[in-house]
Structure 1
């Protein structure tokens, strides 16, 4: 596979292209590895096509570049071809297959790659001498000159013979870069020797750029080989050759012209080039045109029924069934007919098929309506294979589906949230939303009000949780408002806004949701369905209580594991069902996936930072949760994807068009986002303990309690510091405490959290610095991250000599194949400039803010062009969480135990305070 990097270069992902011992492909891989620009050019210069859809996509893009290059005249100073229009590049982007780095693919990225090719070509021309010499060597298929052409032109001034035929030969290029045509008779005179003097040939080519390849400048027999090949296959060509008409312009009637047009492929196979009217090239077969959703639906959501109207169109003209019958009767045989001032092909078979498709469509509709999901599939061109068997009788290639007025307005708002005014939110959140967050809120508000599932796939650090909490706070306000009205009218109606919402999150994010809700949406009434926040007995059978609990709370929050245990969750109708880190349900067969999908809600939101559309099976599972049925059943979707993968790249476009209205993804690298972001964003990443870690933690704590009574002075300080060190080691990994060097990643909550974050960083092709104060854990972390990133990283610690440090730093900042660097906190805290990273992870805390900030600043330095995201790992229910709270809260106790250098002085605490600080909250730690 070819990957697009964040810096808009291309690279081959190792071991993903199967060359099958193909020397040509192996040669191309070598060229691409040395210089991706040369590899991309070489890909277009070859005539071979590939089964790999990614290779074909980049080959087609390079073909566009080479085509533009070939139209540069030689007789003026060399200049590079202009990048195609943004609209054309956007079309290419929509047709792109899934690929690593596909989230960076847009018009800007393609234009950047175009510019890189231009720079490479310029350097090659300087060493080759001329463009022609370079293309002759590097692109042999650039041989458009020296060929015989058959032309068909219109002549509407002659009703009897409205067409004309002419044969020409291309002798070179005109000054404007177009092929120069001379009559075939003139070419024969030149190459047969009658006018074959140097002066005559020079006069014939004056002002043109002659192709340096002289294959065509041979004998008369060589020149006529393509004509003779065509004459052997097509009687009308043989007749023209025998009569000599082939060498002169000839008037033709519609039957002659139609015979020429339908034989176009045979002419090209014989080696001829052809020039035909545009209306024939672009002519569509007779199609049924269907307009979907002209009227507003009575209900919303993917199950809504949409109206549709259908008609038959030929050559862009809507034709009634009576007119079709007249066309068929007026032309007993297939042929050309001038209809309403346009030439159309009367094809009895295709017209009959269009009529049949119209009948199938009408029969398959339910009372003249189709579901919203099916309507969206039809509009995207993805209905075949995903719909039920009744729909699969419809040949969508022969039907043109368009969105009606009402549906078109809805889709435009779904695709571009900036077109819709942001709902009033200022009084429902203490945060000041950034422009892109307002767009996200507006989009979520629209999607959920319409009853659609929405996938919020913003980059880490862009505030997905804040946007969702603000939306919930708006809904909460509506709930209070409707409650007041209900009380004043003494009614007991149950409106949608009165239903509580449910959020299911990883256990490690419970603290994040609690903290952000407290900070940004304090009016939102939360209830945690988890033993770390409430006693299990209080909520296990909450559904058997009266409705007061649901009326008094707006948002219930639980974990994926707990959601499978609380069976009553599926009995409740929720207003919104929100999944954070929604990739947790990517496995359709997993128990928790099935459990979550059984929950009932008016609308659903999936939050994920992973580009889900690059993982097609995961995509189906998440969409089966968001909008069930939109992507068909798993079996149908699998077959549908298999068919796409067997086709060329542009056949992925239907899938992209189908899912794009329901996915909102903004990257930190987007120009409109990066200018609005703070230069540094800090995030607390909460981790849990495994059972092994919790057991070791409790054992160490027990030893501390029994030892404190008999210790004092220096021995007491030594005991406390040793205990603190051992507890920090346990929070990192049990193997760090035992020294067994096993480091099974499943035994550490921090290792699991590190995998989750770095997997997303890896898929974004970004870089990360990991700081730890323990040198002994650096190698185990490196081995673990190698499995996450699929490649090795770099290490820097106190044992790294000064000379090697600079080489390591330079390598990290410039080499895209070094995705991570692990540093000991003190060795990496000073004197380094690591601006190649835009993520910083503090794996364990120094508890000295000054030291941590100094380490963070290794990435956040002058020259940093990216926004830096800082993740601080905190193990819940342990001393790490409590000391962090003390530092953040500036409590009186924290002030008492702070030295002037801001470093925590734990040894000054009393025994009781110390035990409280070190204590283990099992409910939180094992969440």
Structure 2
């Protein structure tokens, strides 16, 4: 086997509701090739099946490592069945509860990880079992030979099985039985006591000796088993003393290595019989709350969750070593270990800060409680963390009457959570999926903060493309919320504006936080970062400057908090709750160990979850709250170049229409409207140039921000435009954003090619985008693989736009569709959009039927009011 490309090395995977598939290749991988990718793309379940037989990669991706673990667990479940050789293709394999639990603890942060649960794992097991059954059915040799050909490390277990169970009776509290797997008259495999083998094989001595040969190997590693063999007791049910049972339990590992599997009590399997030192944190509610709050540390010795008294410990020390029955539970008595635990118990601290207590969740930070101490949360701390993780359990915070929006139930929970976190002084990450309304939840929180503390000052930092959106949303939902827009001038001018301002909310961009040093001199009540992935790279100057901002409360908003790169998560938390995830070096070391100890993912999620509220559109509790089509208007600010060209086009028209009438006037107006639409899209479209630089178009900046989030989720988007001439330029731009090609479809696309494009877009291979001209894509297309629709420019006819949107929003669509309509602020686009929204009937009957001709009927004053640029 080629060891250079083992177990899917380098492949990232994406999880879906019932499935998984390999992520699209990076450009580097496409140039170098990957044999495992070819195998997964040809038949992903067969490739997964094969993966478990291979050696584990030394540097797997997190998702690749998890799938390897799934395959490996399946094969371990398969090969622990003593009936395997007899049952062959009729064998049944299901994961045990502890298998599922272990896999879920090892589940990494990944795209679609929210879908992976016990049902998902069971479904994958069924697919893998189907492959095994097909293969072994066609295989001529034994199952042992089949497995040996696949891997040198897998073996069929012996048909003999040892059972140890608890038994009533003081002198003999345990029972032992050896069974073997055999096929009954009905053809079904059964497990029967070993004594029946003497009857079954009485005339087939060779078969009997072959069956019993494994007992000799077990006897070599266990004196107890050797004794049962010599006396002949192995063929009968046996009663065992506690001492004999303890001797057997200590030898389980060696016996199973000899090929005989053992069924034993769960309390031994889970090491619940061992006395352990446990620290219960935060049993009582402290007087104050915050990271510096001191919480109680109550150390105790426990067995299987049961606390031991001094009297219990004294009785255990008086017992001989082995197994002792205490309070109805079997306890392993080890005098030396007990004395060591008692000494450590005496040294335990009586309290620690809440910050240190939470770090213990992940095993990071101060090791005050000593290595090996089990930590549990007391009643108060458990309830406290539960409220943070499940905001629906928090008492609802009233929404101010001045807030002009009705929050959906999950949004109200998010708003309540933000207020709760504020009261605690903990940084909060609102990480709802795109389209779920993060902005409206934060605005509701800000309006409550303003009404309760009007003297407070809040800083909101966001990408430049979102300035218009926030401005509009704030004016719409919180009209009394006063804000300063710190943008659009030189740093010197903005410094002066900041000094003079007493606005409750200051809104600025990431770029300005580096240039306007005065922002770091104010002690803000709250700093909010929208699209907070902008600080995911801890080493950039921008990130360092933002982390210097001083504030009582911190909130980050992001639709993609963490997918594959865990250090991004560290950077977010370094801003939110500094030190909680340790230093960058400590966290990096923690992440490196996840390959060997994937259960660390669960500890990390447990640590992070109180501070991160993440709801996704696929959550059934959220879906019931949502319309199937989430529509939003995204307001875009014009760039300086667009402003100059727009104003000139309007001024030229104003001069010309004063000199003409009738058809000539109408022609000039319609030509100007077309020019303004082109300028709003990109100056190059109007000027007939081909550079299409992103920084010169507000819409391209917005398109990039939206599509980056879509790509993080590996979802697909249709971008509609009414201009055929820019479709190729938009496609070239999107190819840069997604790092891979999409498709273009317009009126000039041949019919035969249209079919191939649609088939490719609807296929399994990830095709991230399609750029479609509205007229070409208005009818006859089924593009349900896309769950995002972006109207790059507006047709101004709701019926036409809806028809285009319905290429994705139609029968066969399994996800909620998010529709973005890009509108340039202060332009004719915004005024027409406002008219459509306020006068639906007019939009359908007048605007819809006559295109833009109705605008030519306006008076010169009305026309100028419609077309002139209004900067705010």
Band the TM-score falls in, shorter-chain normalisation:
0.7 to 0.9
Contact persistence 2:280–2:376 (CA under 8 A): yes
**Which of 84, 97, 108 pairs up with 2:108?**
97
Q: Secondary structure at the match of 1:853?
A: helix
Q: 1:8-64: per-residue Cα shift (whole Å, max 9, x none)? A: 321122558999xxxxx96x76664344444455556x4865664534544555677
| Partners of 2:142 and 2:556 in 1: CA distance | 52
Which residue in the other structure is 1:195 paired with? 203
Offset of residue 427 of structure 1? 2.2
Which residue in the other structure is 1:337 paired with? 324
| Partners of 2:864 and 2:748 in 1: CA distance | 36
Contact persistence 1:441–1:471 (CA under 8 A): yes
Offset of residue 310 of structure 1? 1.1
Q: 1:706-728: per-residue Cα shift (whole Å, max 9, x none)? A: 98899988787777666655554
Range with bigger deviation, 294-303 or 804-813? 804-813
| Partners of 1:273 and 1:228 in 2: CA distance | 14
Residues 5-24 of structure 1: pairs in structure 2 closer than 5 A: 5-15=15-25
Contact persistence 1:563–1:569 (CA under 8 A): yes
| Partners of 1:175 and 1:658 in 2: CA distance | 54
| Partners of 1:637 and 1:123 in 2: CA distance | 40
Aligned pair count reads 847
Which residue in the other structure is 1:762 paired with? 711
Q: Secondary structure at the match of 2:422?
A: helix
Contact persistence 2:49–2:128 (CA under 8 A): no
Contact persistence 2:82–2:157 (CA under 8 A): no
Which residue in the other structure is 1:520 paired with? 477
Relative to the length of structure 2, the TM-score reads 0.82
Which residue in the other structure is 2:569 paired with? 619
Q: Is 1:314 the equivalent of 2:303? A: yes
| Partners of 2:221 and 2:124 in 1: CA distance | 46
Q: Secondary structure at the match of 1:402?
A: strand
| Partners of 1:416 and 1:751 in 2: CA distance | 38
Contact persistence 2:162–2:260 (CA under 8 A): yes
Residues 627-642 of structure 1: pairs in structure 2 closer than 5 A: 627-642=577-592
Which residue in the other structure is 1:540 paired with? 495
Q: 1:86-124: per-residue Cα shift (whole Å, max 9, x none)? A: x99788545411223224x254xx536745765897899
Q: Is 1:843 the equivalent of 2:792? A: yes
Offset of residue 451 of structure 1? 2.0
Offset of residue 643 of structure 1? 1.3
Q: Is 1:474 the equivalent of 2:448? A: yes
Q: Is 1:258 the equivalent of 2:246? A: yes
Which residue in the other structure is 1:492 paired with? none
Which residue in the other structure is 1:370 paired with? 352
Q: 1:229-282: per-residue Cα shift (whole Å, max 9, x none)? A: 445555666666567666666665554443332222222222232343333222
Residues 116-127 of structure 1: pairs in structure 2 closer than 5 A: 118=126
| Partners of 2:184 and 2:550 in 1: CA distance | 68
Residues 646-665 of structure 1: pairs in structure 2 closer than 5 A: 646-648=596-598, 650-665=599-614
Q: Secondary structure at the match of 1:757?
A: helix
Which residue in the other structure is 1:387 paired with? 365
Contact persistence 1:292–1:309 (CA under 8 A): yes
Offset of residue 313 of structure 1? 1.6
Which residue in the other structure is 2:159 paired with? 147
| Partners of 1:172 and 1:143 in 2: CA distance | 21
Offset of residue 134 of structure 1? 13
Residues 871-890 of structure 1: pairs in structure 2 closer than 5 A: 871-876=820-825, 880-881=829-830, 884=833
Q: Secondary structure at the match of 1:779?
A: helix
Q: Secondary structure at the match of 2:777?
A: coil
Residues 470-619 of structure 1: pairs in structure 2 closer than 5 A: 470-479=444-453, 498-522=455-479, 524-531=480-487, 540-541=495-496, 550=502, 553-612=503-562, 614-619=564-569
Residues 49-60 of structure 1: pairs in structure 2 closer than 5 A: 52=60, 54-55=63-64, 57-58=66-67
Offset of residue 629 of structure 1? 2.0
Shift in CA distance, 690/512, structure 1 to aligned 2, threshold 3 Å: closer
Residues 38-49 of structure 1: pairs in structure 2 closer than 5 A: 38-40=46-48, 46=53
Q: Secondary structure at the match of 2:203?
A: coil
Contact persistence 1:145–1:170 (CA under 8 A): no
Q: 1:601-655: per-residue Cα shift (whole Å, max 9, x none)? A: 332221111142544122111122222222112221111111123323x321000
Which residue in the other structure is 1:856 paired with? 805
Shift in CA distance, 319/611, structure 1 to aligned 2, threshold 3 Å: same
Residues 99-498 of structure 1: pairs in structure 2 closer than 5 A: 99-103=110-114, 105-107=115-117, 111=119, 114-115=122-123, 118=126, 146-152=158-164, 157=169, 159=171, 167-172=178-183, 180-183=191-194, 187=197, 191=201, 194-196=202-204, 218=207, 220=209, 222-232=210-220, 253-284=241-272, 285-320=274-309, 324=313, 327-328=316-317, 330-331=319-320, 334-355=321-342, 357-358=344-345, 361-362=348-349, 368-378=350-360, 380=361, 382-383=362-363, 386-388=364-366, 390-391=367-368, 394-395=370-371, 398-425=372-399, 427-479=401-453, 498=455
Offset of residue 513 of structure 1? 1.9
Offset of residue 515 of structure 1? 1.7
Q: 1:282-328: per-residue Cα shift (whole Å, max 9, x none)? A: 22443222221122223323332222211112344423467546644
| Partners of 2:608 and 2:452 in 1: CA distance | 30
Relative to the length of structure 1, the TM-score reads 0.78
Contact persistence 1:146–1:171 (CA under 8 A): no
Which residue in the other structure is 1:901 paired with? 850
| Partners of 1:134 and 1:696 in 2: CA distance | 80
Offset of residue 435 of structure 1? 1.8
Contact persistence 1:848–1:903 (CA under 8 A): no
**Which of 787, 804, 817 pairs up with 2:766?**
817
| Partners of 2:99 and 2:412 in 1: CA distance | 29
Which residue in the other structure is 2:3 paired with? none
| Partners of 1:451 and 1:684 in 2: CA distance | 34
| Partners of 2:95 and 2:261 in 1: CA distance | 28
Which residue in the other structure is 1:793 paired with? 742
Which residue in the other structure is 1:22 paired with? none
| Partners of 1:537 and 1:453 in 2: CA distance | 31
Contact persistence 1:125–1:131 (CA under 8 A): no
Q: 1:359-380: per-residue Cα shift (whole Å, max 9, x none)? A: 5642xxxxx32222222232x3
Contact persistence 1:705–1:915 (CA under 8 A): yes
Contact persistence 1:72–1:177 (CA under 8 A): no
Residues 716-755 of structure 1: pairs in structure 2 closer than 5 A: 725=674, 728-733=677-682, 735-736=684-685, 741-745=690-694, 748-755=697-704
Q: Secondary structure at the match of 1:612?
A: coil
Q: Secondary structure at the match of 1:646?
A: coil
Offset of residue 406 of structure 1? 1.8
| Partners of 2:848 and 2:231 in 1: CA distance | 107
Q: Secondary structure at the match of 1:871?
A: strand
Offset of residue 425 of structure 1? 2.0
Q: 1:455-477: per-residue Cα shift (whole Å, max 9, x none)? A: 11112222211111122222333
Contact persistence 1:71–1:177 (CA under 8 A): no
| Partners of 2:712 and 2:835 in 1: CA distance | 35
| Partners of 1:78 and 1:263 in 2: CA distance | 32
Offset of residue 437 of structure 1? 1.6
Contact persistence 1:838–1:859 (CA under 8 A): yes
Q: 1:760-819: per-residue Cα shift (whole Å, max 9, x none)? A: 112223221101223233223223323433443222111112343344335434545233
Q: Secondary structure at the match of 1:647?
A: coil
Q: Secondary structure at the match of 1:307?
A: strand
Contact persistence 1:94–1:656 (CA under 8 A): no
Which residue in the other structure is 2:5 paired with? none
